[in-house]
Amino acid sequence: MKIYTRKGDDGTTGLWYGGRVVKSSGRPEAYGSVDEAASELGVCRAVATRGGELYTDILRIQEELFVAGAELATAPEASGRLEDGVSRVTPAMVERLETDIDRYMERVNLPPKFVIPGGNELSARLDVARTAVRRAERRVSALRDAGELPDDTVLTYLNRASDAVYAMARFADEDEPELFKGRG
């Protein structure tokens, strides 16, 4: 099977359920940024303890980012064809992230000021992934502002996902208690 089609050689890309848009337009920028965030999280998962809590939650968020990407890769007029939790982000997915955030944050000792990334390899990588999720959130916000987002759930999801990745990074920092010496 060939992975190239040559259809994009003209600077356009196909949307799910039909239609083509310029590759630099808002929709490909949004789902491309979501794809970057999922890839950044893959690097995090690669250094996390296989089967551990962080590993499992990172993998779930990666899978959910693919759901967000599918939704964003669909033209608004075809949004009725999307399936909740498969190709459309749901409020339940947002709520699950809120539960994750609370679960991680209740077990960390936040410093009284900004956290400088780099406490350990996993937390630093999670902080990089968080910034990628934030970029995706900005791209999706621009889609909404342009009237190209039928529903705000995917935007809310990305906002919570970045918070969840921040919480995971702080939890990963807890493995390095010397980071908190002299603070407090």
Rounded distance between C-alpha atoms, residue 70 and residue 64, angstroms? 10
Cβ-based neighbour number of residue 22 at 10 Å: 12
> Which CATH number applies to 7-176?
1.20.1200.10
Angle at 133 between CA 66 and CA 26, to 5 degrees: 75
Give the count of alpha carbons within 13 A of 118, CB side only.
1
Q: What is the model's pTM?
A: 0.90
Residue 54, H or E segment: helix 53-72
Residue extents of the structural domains in the chain: 7-176
pLDDT tens by residue, the chain, 184 residues? 888 889 899 898 988 888 899 999 999 999 999 999 999 999 999 999 999 999 999 999 999 999 999 999 999 889 999 999 999 999 999 999 999 999 999 999 887 788 888 999 999 999 999 999 999 999 999 999 999 998 999 999 999 999 999 999 999 998 644 433 333 3
